[in-house]
Structure 1
Amino acid sequence: MIVTAWRATSLAQGTPPGYCAGLMLYRSFVTVGGLTMVSRILGFARDILIAAALGSGAIADAFFVAFRFPNLFRRLFAEGAFNAAFVPLFAKRLQGEGADAAKTFAEEAMSVLLITLLAFSAICMLAMPWLMLILAPGFVADPDKYDLAVLLTQIAFPYLLCMSLVALLSGILNSMHRYWVAAAAPILLNIVLIAAISLAIALGYSQKPGAGIILAIGVFIAGIAQTILLWVAVRRAGMRLSLRRPRLTPGVKRLIGLGIPGLISGGITQINIVVGTVIASMQAGAVSYLYYADRLYQLPLGIVGVAIGVVLLPDLSRRLQAGDHRAAMDSQNRSLEFGLMLTLPAAVALAVAAEPIIRVLFERGAFSPSDTAATAPALAAFACGLPGFVLIKVFQPAFFAREDTKTPMRYAAFNMIINVAGSLALFYAFAQMGYHPHVGIALATSLAGWINALLLWATLSRAGNFQADRRLLRNLPLIILASIIMGAAVWFALGPLAPYFSAANPIYLQLSALAGLVGLGAVVFFGTVLLTGVLSPSQFVRKLRRAS
């Protein structure tokens, strides 16, 4: 089964750059992005329930800090950063040495990873009362919130161990062109947490510590469910892994050498968000405001950025291993074009319509109008950095595929310094001006993301590893123009639709108004894109049939 799949891959590698190769890449993007969209929509349903039950009070802050730490590792591992080290090495063995050598390497990596993280998890869970001083120093002023955050983090922490296995198994499947199962795994997390918060509400635990405890247990259960799903999928793909005695073989040493910088560089956006959480803990409710805003801008970033990160790395690794540098360059150009065509309009829309979006999705139950007023500007600030975050997802795989994780790591370290300094400076500056201090944290995160993206682009360009082709140079200004036109249309529509966004209206009326606003933006943007020739429906259909 593995051999058959790999032969099909080898044939695909011979595809010349152009529309057919681009469409094959787009199909993979759509597979991963579509399932990620399902996961993020369920995530919204989850967060709407959490907002209604917990609002932005002490229990919500405690749970979000508890969830942030294992969730950081989920995003570091499952959404591409671990793959930065594992996928190129696994793909090299699969293509150059065969399935047996690749299986051996995966088993060696799994054994070392498990024993390391078992020890790490045990130490962290025991030391959590002291680690919380680092994770949320502002909670010290409220002992009850501090103790609850410690307890919830200890309950949820084993999720990290599950995600280490999920990451490795996802890397195996992605290297074999089997994207959908790994992309679907996060759906289980949201289903379990929706069930958990629904149970808490049914038991009368709204705004009570019991709701946080049930949610933390749900995180742990979701990790086990995702691990089982991926394990079964890998076995069905013909890769039957078994545990080995942990040994630092040459392959494992190489994985560690690439993995540590890869985790830092690939996960810098998430690390910056954790840094922001630490600083935000000094302001009551700020952790929750940033969490809700983060969830919204993570929707397009997850659908587009994660899809690009997951698909592009193995694609570039295979093409570079085969010496097809022209096709690798085309993959990067098409990924950049695809990413910006979806995220630029999303960023503009989130910035222009932040307040009605927050109000309609979250303002009910324990989530008050003052919470909307505090969360909306944070969402707009995060939206400013959204295209930069996607550019990072496009440019980093070009380094990782060449087994260079140190260059992105250096830029990530610089990025983190900018983020920490900027967050602290803007947090206190905004507080002095009487404005929401946590918005400064969101702005600093966006600024740091853009600087990181520009550094990656400049380095690739100087080395000759990225050059914008004629199609990208033609389409990019048109995509920017279409986004500006769409933003203007959405801004003008906000006035007439404002009465329908009121929390006093039935939820179906609010959602209908928001859907109408989103629909208007989509029609204006894609209509402009079609009129300017960025997309040609007839040409797309013709090439799709030819590629089939």
Structure 2
Amino acid sequence: MPSLWRQLTSRRPAPRPGGTDAEGRPMQLALVAAVLLFALCRQSQVLVERFLASTLPAGAISHLNYAQKVAQIPMTLSLMLCTVTFPVVARALADGDTERARSRVQRDIALASALVLLGMCAVIACAPQMIELLFQRGAFTAADTAATASVMRVYALGLLGQTLVGALVRSYFSAGRPRWYPVAAMAAGIAVTSWTGAAAVGPFGVAGIAAANALGITVTAALLLTGLRKGRRAADGVSVHLRQVLAELSRPVRAAVVATVAGAFVASRPDSAPAGLVAGLLTVTAVFVPLTLALGGPQGRTSALRSVRTVTRRLAHGRNR
């Protein structure tokens, strides 16, 4: 907080042409306010879930908590990619090279989506084995394992939306100017989560809350992606070719469906949880990776390799500094 306060109250070395130093400061405050309000809206989703789950029997919130903590691991790993490459986008916009920024954002979306979908396949296919291996001991019974696994499978359906929200919102704020559209998109997603959750919690219990979460964050992701389409924000910052992005996303999504079905079938064959988990993970990987590359064609494989090289170069640079 002290560092943030110094940034907000410090004098600028030179005023902008045609304006004064005082004119730049409200813009900086507006940027911070927009980012904080977006984060606040996103975190309020947790409050909505807890409020809806408070009417359910004892243990329901625990099942939801365990399911979320495990299922969010693939999302966290995939968003590391966008964090590493964010300075590339910001620098490109600072240089006025919007085409380079657009290309970087679209490659990040494609690669982060592929990574999280691979993790989503593993989570859905091997949910019972994961939960049993991690938690089934002491007071955590087989019934708790089954309940948590079923909730985790539903919650995992929103992982792609969560990853897209995390990746896309950086594009709105990378130019260093305030954007209120992400706040409105997140508020719309929260409204969908609230109304859908209120309607689904009665008949479906905690699984209905997880489904509402997945639907709400997917709506937010769709709104954020639509807001970045080319021709709408080209003058403000990053824009994307919407049809091209959707075409790129459709390939790993189709591969994920096949990999999930195959992984769930193989994981259910062994009697022990460790053996089933290993078999399921290997099957998911063996199906998803080659199928995604095959659906992407030579251009998709080249783009994926270029993105991986960029990330590894930046990671190596960070270690050597």
Q: TM-score range by the shorter chain?
A: 0.7 to 0.9
Q: C-alpha root-mean-square deviation of aligned residues, in Å?
A: 3.3
| Distance apart, 1:352 and its partner CA | 3.1
Partner SS for 1:404: coil
Distance 1:319 1:480 in 2: 30
For the pair 1:278 / 2:278, whether they are aligned, the reply is no
| Distance apart, 1:372 and its partner CA | 1.2
Quickly say closer, same or farther: Cα 1:474–1:257, change in 2 above 3 A. Answer: closer
Structural mapping, 1:462-477, within 5 Å:
463=232, 464=234, 465-468=238-241, 475-477=248-250
For structure 2, which runs of at least 5 residues remain unmatched after alignment? Answer: 11-21, 317-321
For the pair 1:411 / 2:185, whether they are aligned, the reply is yes
Quickly say closer, same or farther: Cα 1:543–1:400, change in 2 above 3 A. Answer: closer
For the pair 1:524 / 2:287, whether they are aligned, the reply is yes
Distance 2:142 2:112 in 1: 34
Number of residue equivalences: 291
Identity %: 24
Distance 1:541 1:319 in 2: 16
Q: Deviations over 1:467-501 (max 9, x none)?
A: 3389856644432332223123212203322x112
Of residues 506, 509, 514 in structure 1, which corresponds to 2:277?
514
Of residues 223, 227, 240 in structure 2, which corresponds to 1:455?
223
Structural mapping, 1:29-428, within 5 Å:
108-109=6-7, 253-266=26-39, 268-283=41-56, 284-308=58-82, 310-402=83-175, 403-428=177-202
What is residue 38 of structure 1 aligned with on the other side? none
Tell me which amino acid in the other structure corresponds to 2:289.
F
Partner SS for 1:332: helix
Q: Tell which deviates more after alignment, 251-260 or 332-341.
A: 251-260
TM-score by length of 1: 0.48
Distance 2:257 2:50 in 1: 32
Tell me which amino acid in the other structure corresponds to 1:325.
T
For the pair 1:439 / 2:211, whether they are aligned, the reply is no
Q: Tell which deviates more after alignment, 464-473 or 350-359.
A: 464-473
Contact 1:266–1:396 (CA under 8 A) maintained in structure 2: no
Partner SS for 1:454: helix
| Distance apart, 1:293 and its partner CA | 0.6
Partner SS for 1:367: coil
Tell me which amino acid in the other structure corresponds to 2:224.
L
Quickly say closer, same or farther: Cα 1:334–1:486, change in 2 above 3 A. Answer: same
Partner SS for 1:496: coil
For structure 1, which runs of at least 5 residues remain unmatched after alignment? Answer: 1-81, 83-103, 113-248, 431-436, 502-509
Contact 1:265–1:405 (CA under 8 A) maintained in structure 2: no
Distance 1:359 1:301 in 2: 21
Q: Deviations over 1:514-537 (max 9, x none)?
A: 123212211222232344544369
Partner SS for 1:488: helix
Distance 1:541 1:417 in 2: 35
Contact 2:63–2:151 (CA under 8 A) maintained in structure 1: yes
Of residues 250, 269, 272 in structure 2, which corresponds to 1:500?
272
| Distance apart, 1:423 and its partner CA | 1.6
Distance 1:108 1:387 in 2: 37
Quickly say closer, same or farther: Cα 1:477–1:417, change in 2 above 3 A. Answer: closer
Contact 1:530–1:536 (CA under 8 A) maintained in structure 2: no
